Structure 1
Amino acid sequence: MPLGPTSSAINIQANSITEAVHNAPRTPTNITIHPVALFSILDHYLRRTDSQDRVIGTLLGTRHDNEVEVRSSFAVLHSETDEQVAVDMDYHRTMYELHHKVNPKEVIVGWYSTGSNLNTYSALIQNFYSQETGPHQAIHVAVNTGVVEGEEAGVKAYISSPVGVFPKPENCVFVPVPVELRFHDAERSGLDLLANTAQASSSTSSQPIADLEIIERAVTSVSEMLDRVLAYVRAVLAGEQKGDPAVGRYLMDTLGASTDDLEKGGFNSSLQDTLMISYLANLVRSQAEVSSRLALAAAS
């Protein structure tokens, strides 16, 4: 039976469906964590009370298509027993408002916990943070501190998927998502200092090194890498080792600039800039000399 103009049926157009699918939030497929967020999580774990088996907190960052970048985090007060779990939501929202005033571009992307135990309480907390990050999916980062015997330290990330025809908040499956640690070049010296302190035999903390020593270590590291690459290439050319096509393509992309391209490209551009600066400097020097001679002539 055809629908009349007074029918209560909903008219759905194909363009509306296409637009809705296009604008739907994408599922995160990769998560990156900055060292600042990771150190904040570890500091929260070290400051926990003796009665706490794990600590939780809020993750802040940005989203780029299907990638989530975790830049910072803050602790959230919570209590957890065999019968119930309680999270201080007012404290969470107050802390987020303070962080948002400092970094307006950072939004809530999920939550973190220490340990590797994913239980019913984890699903309830995940449901709470899913409401905070909607319409985007909330991510969960589990930081294993390695204090439990038989468990290695590491970082894992998850997203949740509901289970059942009528899913409940406590029923969900945590799906692993690739996670990596990313830091800026300016943070490398600080991370190297922490790594050297952790590997030191004595308990005395290392002191920050001078810029000249940092450059020396960087040059030495580059020289060692070049020696390894040169030894690998010589072994492949001599037939002593089977070459890896992926490594070969990477070396060609990195070192494949020919001398002609170098002379026609960046070298000529830098040379022209240098000549222009030298020409302007000589012109200013000549102008200054002429002006000084005219001044002396006028004075005499």
Structure 2
Amino acid sequence: MALNISVKVHPVVLFQIVDAYERRNADSHRVIGTLLGTSDKGVVEVTNCFCVPHKEHADQVEAELNYAMDVYDLNRRVNSSESIVGWWATGNEVTNHSSVIHEYYSRECRDPVHVTLDTSLQGGRMGMRAYVCVALGVPRGKQGCMFTPIDVSLTCYEPEIVGLQLCQKTMGPGGRSRQVQPMLDLAQVAEAASKLSSLLDQVLQYVEDVLAERVEPNNAAGRQLLELVNSVPNLSADTFADAFASSVKDLLMVVTLAQLIKTQLQLNEKLTLLTSQ
């Protein structure tokens, strides 16, 4: 099997794993589950997961496989594009029982991946690792397998980025949590513009420091800046201002229509209650 496989995990998967770990039985040392997603051209994208109840003994593993298949069938009815791509486990290492569990998932999908998430926060981080199982042995001899690490990273859809930014705001001073509310669309635009302006100031300051020989130039950063500049459309200031104003008008129209629809639904609900009394 080729090892040129990489794994991309969406944030919702991490949230579900942590939630399953927090809800585990008192006698459970770790939690396992099924990874769902897609696999294409050596890239496994994990978009969903669920927990599989199990018990680990010294010499065997007991897992509720019928429950796992029922949950998978229900998930397929909701999202038919998600298939089994592997399995996950909490902890920071591969255990003696991992090969037994991996053998089951090898029958459910081709080249399953194994993702571990360190929920014990060793080193102050929730370390995430991914593995594939490589067969070992000699022909007509004893066979075995070895878990080999592969590249793993986080990836996000645009709505997920908004959710992550909202989650970051729940962390107050001193690590205390606080309640926050989603911002309105215009407020999000203003905040994004403010952050963009701050980042541009940092980039300009770095370029000025390099030109003044106050900072050692970084070739990788220079190439990224050149790529960034070339990706920006060559528009005049007036053309850009007109396009931005048009986009803002479209946004205001969508917000207004959404508020009108919301008001209409609320009035309809109240009228329905009045006529039913």
**TM superposition score category, shorter chain reference:** 0.7 to 0.9
2:194 is the counterpart of 1:235: no
Counterpart CA distance in 2 for 1:26 and 1:175 is 11
TM (norm. structure 2) is: 0.78
Residue in 1 aligned with 2:154?
A: 181
Counterpart CA distance in 2 for 1:36 and 1:257 is 31
Counterparts in 2 of 1:235 and 1:107: CA distance versus 1, 3 Å = same
For 1:94, which of 70, 90, 96 is the aligned residue? Answer: 70
SS in 2 for 1:256: helix
How far 1:218 sits from its partner (Å)?
1.1
How far 1:177 sits from its partner (Å)?
1.0
2:105 is the counterpart of 1:129: yes
Counterparts in 2 of 1:36 and 1:152: CA distance versus 1, 3 Å = closer
2:11–2:154 CA contact under 8 A, matched in 1: yes
CA offsets 1:73-108 (integer angstroms, 9 cap, x no match): 011111112232111111111111111111111110
SS in 2 for 1:109: strand
Map 1:1-300 to 2 at 5 A: 27=3, 29-133=5-109, 136-147=110-121, 152-165=125-138, 166=141, 168=143, 171-201=144-174, 202-256=176-230, 261-262=234-235
SS in 1 for 2:29: coil
SS in 1 for 2:46: strand
1:65 maps to amino acid: K
The gaps in structure 1 that reach 5 residues or longer are 1-24, 275-300
Counterpart CA distance in 2 for 1:222 and 1:211 is 16
2:34–2:50 CA contact under 8 A, matched in 1: yes
How far 1:172 sits from its partner (Å)?
2.0
2:44–2:85 CA contact under 8 A, matched in 1: yes
TM (norm. structure 1) is: 0.72
Counterpart CA distance in 2 for 1:177 and 1:66 is 11
Counterpart CA distance in 1 for 2:206 and 2:124 is 36
1:88 maps to amino acid: E
1:26–1:65 CA contact under 8 A, matched in 2: no
% identical equivalent positions: 36
Root-mean-square deviation (CA, aligned residues, Å) is: 2.5
1:106 maps to amino acid: E
May I ask how many residue pairs the two structures share in their alignment? 238
1:236 maps to amino acid: V
The gaps in structure 2 that reach 5 residues or longer are 247-277
Counterpart CA distance in 1 for 2:29 and 2:150 is 24
1:27–1:137 CA contact under 8 A, matched in 2: no
1:155 maps to amino acid: M
How far 1:145 sits from its partner (Å)?
1.0
